[in-house]
Amino acid sequence: MHEVGIGLVGGGYMGKAHAVAMSAVGAVFDTALRPRLEVIAASSPASAERYRKAYGFARATANWHDLVADPAVGAVIIASPQETHRAIAEAAFAAGKPVFCEKPLGASLDDTTAMTAAAEASGLVNMIGFNYVRTPATRFVRQLLAEGAIGTVTWFRGEHCEDFFADPSLPATWRTSGRANGTMGDLAPHMINGALALMGRIAELSARIETVHATRPGPAGPVAVDNDDQAQMMVRFASGAMGHLFFSRVATGRKMGYAYEIHGTKGAIRFDQEDQNAVWLYRAEGPQANRGFTRILTGPEHPDYAAFCQGPGHGTGYQDQIIIEARDFLEAIATGRPVWPTFRDGLDVARVIRTAFNAAADGRWHSVPDE
């Protein structure tokens, strides 16, 4: 059994998730390549040491350059702020080390393009952290669509809605400043990636992007919010199907509203991440009186479920999605073969986002470039 030393940049919310995943993945999936927690980097020596003790890394540093250069680190996971992603990834590829990067890939389309170019020029394994498309339920939906279970798809509606900024009295934070930290940079990439995974390329779109709460309380008075609270797109997929995408951080009552509905000529599918272990399937067959949506609970017969639990309907959770990501990353390193989604998939999402901002600015339909 071979091992690979893991270097993790960032120890916060997602850093912890990746540390836990790398600690558990070998036992869950019996991977041929086993991760070894070598170095964690954070913004200060104190926080890095705190994370080292909490997560079980061998060493800590406040300088990510030292992490990338460490000979014991064989692969790098980036879970730091978006504006740091490009420099870390380019350095890691230059050092000959595979990279897993949290979404969005870069803080801008230029960063994302450069990171994708560096990844592909290096020939090294590269992955991006779109975890929600990895649930057993959504992977099952992808199988249903590939099998033609609902016929020719005619319509897709997707959303990623949460309410962590629904209250206008909440104070301004780093999330309320900078385009990359708005809803289009934070929540939208997940559902755009989901739409691309389920439906294929978006050919053209029209968009509206807005700030609902223009100011928020600050230490010295109201602070202007300079990024978006919510956005919507009308889209036309390359397949010809129509669609609508909506994203919001002010959707009162929604906690993890990553949801989609797909209509086809022979049926329909519904899914909501707040009930992530269920798929609703409608088949247009049999007597009309007997037709209706069937709730299918995921179980060992669905993709990746059995590794976590032998009981149908017992369910998987958020952390399990990150463990599946870890399995995919280790498998890619072990085999040398790319495992979806790669940096290029992150670039596809970034192109849709740039196109949406352009469309929102002039109120017209825009084609989405594919190169």
- pLDDT digits over 115-151, tens only? 999 999 999 999 999 999 999 999 999 999 999 999 9
Total-model pTM? 0.95
Tell which residue, 269, 294, 295, 241, has the closest CA to residue 149.
269
> What is the phi-psi region of residue 30: left when phi exceeds 0, alpha when psi lies from -120 to 50, beta otherwise?
left
> Given this model, what pLDDT does residue 10 score?
97
Peptide bond into 341 cis (omega under 30): yes
Q: How much of the chain, in percent, has pLDDT values that exceed 90?
A: 99
Show the low-confidence residues of the chain (pLDDT under 50).
Answer: none
> Given this model, what pLDDT does residue 1 score?
56
Strand partners of residue 264: 153
Question: What is the C-alpha separation between 176 and 214, in angstroms, rounded?
Answer: 10
> Given this model, what pLDDT does residue 370 score?
87
Question: What is the C-alpha separation between 319 and 17, in angstroms, rounded?
Answer: 7
Tell which residue, 233, 247, 107, 115, has the closest CA to residue 177.
107
Domains detected in the chain? 2-129 (3.40.50.720), 136-275+277-316+349-362 (3.30.360.10)
